[in-house]
């Protein structure tokens, strides 16, 4: 799933951070009578949720299958972030109708953000599914499926202020067993004017830090060597603090994101820790200092800027200016020299002028991102932007600006990758390279993919690799006993 060149290919299509569609599969747990086909769209958070869903359904007697034709239950975990993502799901669901004609007992359910957004309408108007379940209601899935088996339609789209699925042990659907997602919080309290997430995933809440540490330790003991801590805005992670910032229980420690990072880093120095997504307005120097203290906190930060223009950022309700963002970048470069950066860009948001767009172009050049995930603005119902601004940038202008961003960004990324050639990197071996059977691929701390001969290595090993050459964003190297530069 995280193989090699995925990112740049997707970036070219303007769809990068979204994991397009992943048919989830994992080894079956025991002999189960019923088969679940589970497919995920959208962000890493959704993928992580699917692992919780697989766990809940496994307890209810379902094992997952890769083969949709043999399923008793089809669940689609959906994304609403752009209109295109929803269209793709609708088409997929229309395709499932043929299985329903063959097997009248087949249950088809829609989960996730699209379920939350469209609610009962999906049952009433579209008649594509039997079951609609929002992101905070997955514990209810077994009883809802039973209800459908009993001949009724079933819906639960209640959002919660507490649900974090903290104690549910996810069924790891990444069969490679090297890297895993660990969800640390849910929901989002930022009201970026373009974004549907606060409406589909509800209020922000953080997960108990002990359960995060236990899950990470358990993964390490099972052989995993990398965790990615996930949240819509990881920098506002907080435990034992109320919304106003007052301590809830004085006998318990307060844990903010910087402390959480250190707790997970201390699980084991051989466990790499990544995180996503940071918010420029909330990213503190404490987080950067924590990263500098622990080698296993990977030196890579995904810091979505969205636009390089302060007037656009104001309309986007991002809570920072271009100058503030550049100040955060300066802090990263000072505290964590050599740390690589990636970002998200939206082109053609409401009222974007050519000058504002050019400010994005100059920011890209000034910062030098190793990766950028670029999107054309897609108006989403209920959002602040839909209510307040006109979606007035013509489609062809949005597209032309997107192409310009992608073209230039590719060049900057390629220049940064070329600078890595000649250096030795400590690499975590992840799996067989897509392009060559006799090579492995792994990642540097900077998240750069590097390909090298398999030798006696195996996934989960750490190895020093000297970068000998590169393609646009992938390094090609040879294993060495020399000391690593990074
Ligand atoms: N249109 C286009 N892109 C969007 N994103 C979020 N909402 C929209 C939208 N309405 C992008 C942002 C965000 C990423 C996950 O998706 O860049 O950071
Ligand atoms: Fe993830 Fe947002 Fe898409 Fe929901 S709408 S799946 S939170 S990207």
Q: What domains lie within the chain, and their CATH numbers?
A: 8-156 (3.40.50.12160), 179-419 (3.80.30.20), 424-479 (2.40.50.140)
Exposure on the CB side of residue 31, measured as CA atoms within 13 A:
0
How far is the C-alpha of 370 from the C-alpha of 342, rounded, in Å? 6
Looking at ligand 2, which atom is closest to the CA of residue 46? 6
Degrees, nearest 5: CA angle 443-445-449: 25
How far is the C-alpha of 464 from the C-alpha of 426, rounded, in Å? 5
Task: Summarize pLDDT for 411-442 with one digit per residue, the tens.
Answer: 999 999 999 999 999 999 999 999 999 999 99
Does the CB atom of residue 346 touch ligand 1 within 6 A?
yes
Give bridge partners of residue 77 from the DSSP assignment.
Answer: 40, 111
- Mean per-residue pLDDT, 352-375: 98
Q: Are 342 and 300 in contact (CB under 8 A)?
A: yes
Looking at ligand 2, which atom is closest to the CA of residue 135? 4
Does the CB atom of residue 380 touch ligand 1 within 6 A?
yes
Query: What pLDDT was estimated at residue 180?
Result: 96
- For residue 113, the CA-to-ligand 2 centroid distance in Å is 6
**Ligand 2, pocket residues at CB < 6 Å:** 42-43, 45-46, 79-81, 112-113, 196-197, 200-201
Instruction: Provide the whole-model pTM.
Output: 0.93
Look at residue 81 and tell me whether its pLDDT is greater than 50: yes
Query: What pLDDT was estimated at residue 155?
Result: 96
Looking at ligand 1, which atom is closest to the CA of residue 17? 15
| Token representation of residue 181 | 């997602």
- For residue 79, the CA-to-ligand 2 centroid distance in Å is 5
Instruction: Tell me if residue 457 falls in helix, strand or coil.
Output: coil
Task: Summarize pLDDT for 443-457 with one digit per residue, the tens.
Answer: 999 999 999 999 999
- For residue 81, the CA-to-ligand 1 centroid distance in Å is 6
How far is the C-alpha of 176 from the C-alpha of 410, rounded, in Å? 29
| Token representation of residue 262 | 């250190």
Look at residue 73 and tell me whether its pLDDT is greater than 70: yes
Q: Which protein residue has the closest C-alpha to ligand 2 atom 3?
A: 79
How far is the C-alpha of 364 from the C-alpha of 348, rounded, in Å? 16
Looking at ligand 1, which atom is closest to the CA of residue 345? 17
From the CA of 383, which ligand is nearest?
A: 1
Nearest to 211 by CA among 223, 188, 229, 224: 229
Does the CB atom of residue 349 touch ligand 1 within 6 A?
no
210 CB neighbour count, 10 Å cutoff? 12
From the CA of 199, which ligand is nearest?
A: 2
- Mean per-residue pLDDT, 111-125: 91
Q: Where are the alpha helices (DSSP H) in 167-208?
A: 197-201
Question: What is the enclosing helix (H) or strand (E) of 243?
Answer: none
Give residue 174's pLDDT band: very low, low, confident or very high (50, 70, 90): low
Q: Strands of 338-438 (E only): list them.
A: 340-347, 371-376, 424-432
- Mean per-residue pLDDT, 176-196: 96
Looking at ligand 1, which atom is closest to the CA of residue 196? 7
Give residue 58's pLDDT band: very low, low, confident or very high (50, 70, 90): very high
List b or e across 422-458, with b for residues whose CB sees 16 or more CB atoms inside 10 angstroms: ebbbbbbbbbbbeeeeeebbbbbbbbbbbbbeeeebe
| Token representation of residue 1 | 């799933």
Q: Are 479 and 457 in contact (CB under 8 A)?
A: yes
How far is the C-alpha of 424 from the C-alpha of 259, rounded, in Å? 30
Query: What pLDDT was estimated at residue 12?
Result: 31
Look at residue 8 and tell me whether its pLDDT is greater than 70: no
- For residue 375, the CA-to-ligand 1 centroid distance in Å is 7
Give residue 479's pLDDT band: very low, low, confident or very high (50, 70, 90): very high
Query: What pLDDT was estimated at residue 121?
Result: 87
Look at residue 470 and tell me whether its pLDDT is greater than 60: yes
Nearest to 258 by CA among 340, 335, 161: 335
- For residue 210, the CA-to-ligand 2 centroid distance in Å is 26
Query: What pLDDT was estimated at residue 440?
Result: 98
Q: Which protein residue has the closest C-alpha to ligand 2 atom 1?
A: 43
Look at residue 14 and tell me whether its pLDDT is greater than 90: no
Does the CB atom of residue 444 touch ligand 1 within 6 A?
no
Question: Scanning the structure block, which residue is given the tokens 């990758």?
Answer: 417
Looking at ligand 1, which atom is closest to the CA of residue 43? 15
Q: Are 370 and 341 in contact (CB under 8 A)?
A: yes
CA distances from 411 to 325, 403, 404, 442 (A): 22, 13, 11, 23
Average pLDDT, the chain: 92
Instruction: Tell me if residue 374 falls in helix, strand or coil.
Output: strand
Torsion of Cα atoms, 222 then 210 then 300 then 178, to 10°: 10
Nearest to 289 by CA among 262, 269, 270: 262
Look at residue 308 and tell me whether its pLDDT is greater than 60: yes
Q: Which protein residue has the closest C-alpha to ligand 1 atom 15?
A: 17
> What is the torsional sign of CA 304, 305, 307, 310?
positive
Task: Summarize pLDDT for 197-243 with one digit per residue, the tens.
Answer: 999 999 999 999 999 999 999 999 999 999 999 999 999 999 999 87
Q: Which protein residue has the closest C-alpha to ligand 1 atom 13?
A: 344
Look at residue 18 and tell me whether its pLDDT is greater than 90: no
């Amino acid at each position: 799933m995280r193989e090699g060149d995925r990112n740049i290919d997707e970036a070219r299509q303007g769809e990068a951070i979204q994991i397009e569609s992943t048919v989830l599969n994992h080894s079956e747990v025991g002999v189960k009578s019923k088969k679940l086909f589970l497919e995920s769209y959208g962000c890493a958070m959704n993928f992580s949720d699917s692992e919780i869903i697989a766990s809940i359904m496994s307890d209810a007697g379902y094992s997952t299958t890769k083969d949709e034709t043999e399923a008793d239950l089809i669940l689609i975990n959906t994304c609403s972030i752009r209109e295109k993502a929803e269209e793709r799901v609708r088409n997929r669901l229309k395709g499932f109708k043929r299985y329903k004609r063959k097997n009248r007992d087949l249950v088809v359910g829609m989960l996730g953000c699209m379920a939350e957004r469209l609610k009962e309408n999906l049952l009433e108007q579209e008649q594509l599914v039997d079951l609609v379940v929002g992101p905070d209601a997955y514990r209810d899935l077994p009883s809802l499926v039973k209800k459908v088996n009993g001949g009724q339609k079933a819906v639960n789209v209640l959002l919660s202020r507490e649900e974090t699925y903290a104690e549910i042990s996810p069924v790891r659907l990444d069969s490679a067993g090297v890297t895993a997602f660990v969800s640390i919080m849910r929901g989002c309290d930022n009201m970026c004017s373009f974004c549907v997430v606060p409406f589909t995933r509800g209020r922000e809440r953080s997960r108990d830090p002990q359960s995060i540490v236990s899950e990470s330790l358990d993964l390490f003991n099972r052989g995993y060597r990398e965790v990615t801590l996930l949240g819509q805005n990881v920098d506002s992670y907080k435990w034992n603090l109320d919304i106003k910032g007052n301590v809830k229980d004085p006998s318990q420690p307060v844990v903010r994101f910087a402390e959480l990072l250190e707790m997970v880093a201390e699980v084991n120095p051989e466990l790499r820790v990544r995180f996503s997504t940071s918010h420029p307005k909330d990213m503190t120097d404490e987080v950067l200092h924590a990263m500098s203290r622990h080698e296993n906190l990977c030196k890579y930060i995904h810091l979505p800027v969205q636009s390089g223009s302060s007037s656009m950022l104001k309309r986007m309700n991002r809570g920072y200016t271009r100058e503030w963002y550049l100040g955060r970048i300066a802090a990263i470069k000072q505290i964590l020299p050599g740390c690589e950066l990636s970002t998200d860009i939206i082109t053609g948001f409401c009222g974007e002028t050519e000058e504002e767009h050019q400010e994005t172009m100059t920011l890209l050049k000034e910062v030098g991102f190793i990766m950028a995930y670029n999107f054309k603005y897609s108006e989403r119902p209920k959002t602040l932007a839909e209510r307040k601004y006109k979606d007035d940038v013509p489609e062809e202008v949005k597209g032309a600006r997107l192409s310009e961003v992608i073209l230039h960004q590719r060049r900057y990324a390629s220049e940064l990758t070329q600078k890595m050639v000649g250096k030795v990197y400590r690499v975590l071996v992840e799996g067989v390279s897509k392009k060559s059977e006799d090579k492995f691929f792994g990642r540097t701390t900077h998240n750069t993919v590097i390909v090298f001969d398999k030798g006696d290595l195996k996934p989960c090993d750490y190895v020093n690799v000297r970068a000998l050459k590169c393609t646009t964003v992938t390094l090609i190297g040879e294993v060495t006993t020399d000391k690593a530069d990074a």
